[in-house]
Amino acid sequence: MSGPFGRIIYNSHGKFTITRDDSHVLSKKVTKIGMIAGGTGISPMFQLIQKILSVKSDCTAMSLIYCTKLIEEMSFSEDLIKFDKTGNLSYFPVVEMPETNKWLYGKGFVTDHIIENFMPSPYDKNSLIFLCGPKVFVNDHLIPILKSMSYTDENILYY
C-alpha cells in the first residue's frame, strides 16, 4: 500500500516494511493491527485483511472501524461481517446518517469511546494503527482524537 506518507509493505506474520517520505526504511513487527477507514479508504484496508487471511498460519490480530455517511455506501460489508463472525477480524461499522432504526452498529461519528473499544491500546508497542479516508476525516477528526488518547506518530500510519 502506498499513500502520501510513504509506502507500506506487509511481508507476513505481522512484519511490515515502511518507507517514509524521506526514504527512511523501517521494519516493524506487530501482533495487532487496528484500522480506521472512511468511505473509499476501505480499499487498502480490505487488501491488507485479505493478505493476512490468505496465510493460515498468520495470527496477526486485526480490528477495523469503517465509517460512511450512508449504509448504501459501505463496500465489502458481507465479507467483513463474515470475517468478524469467524473471529478473524473485530469489525465495527459506523454510519453517519443511518436511514433506519434497525441499524445496530455505530451511528454518527467515530469517537474516542469507539476507538478505545475496538483499537489496540495506545500503550501496546506491538501494534500499529492504519488510517485511510478523506483528508478532513483523517487530519481534522481522527488524528486529534488519537493524539488526545496518547497514540503516537510511531504507531499511526495513514494514507
- Rounded Cα gap, residues 7 and 85, in angstroms: 31
Asked if 105 contacts 80 with a C-beta cutoff of 8 angstroms, the reply is no
- Rounded Cα gap, residues 85 and 20, in angstroms: 35
- Rounded Cα gap, residues 83 and 98, in angstroms: 23
Residue 159 pLDDT > 80, yes or no?
no
pLDDT digits (tens, 9 = 90+) for 33-74: 999 999 999 999 999 999 999 999 999 999 999 999 999 999
C-alpha closest to that of 28 among 51, 54, 9: 9
Retrieve residue 7's grid coordinates. 509506502
Instruction: Kindly state the percentage of the chain with pLDDT values over 70.
Output: 94
Please state the rounded mean pLDDT for residues 84-90.
90
Using pLDDT thresholds of 50, 70 and 90, give the confidence band for residue 2.
very low
What's residue 4's pLDDT? Answer: 43
Q: Where do the domains of the chain lie?
A: 32-158
CATH fold of 32-158 reads Rossmann fold (3.40.50)
Amino acid sitting at position 69: K
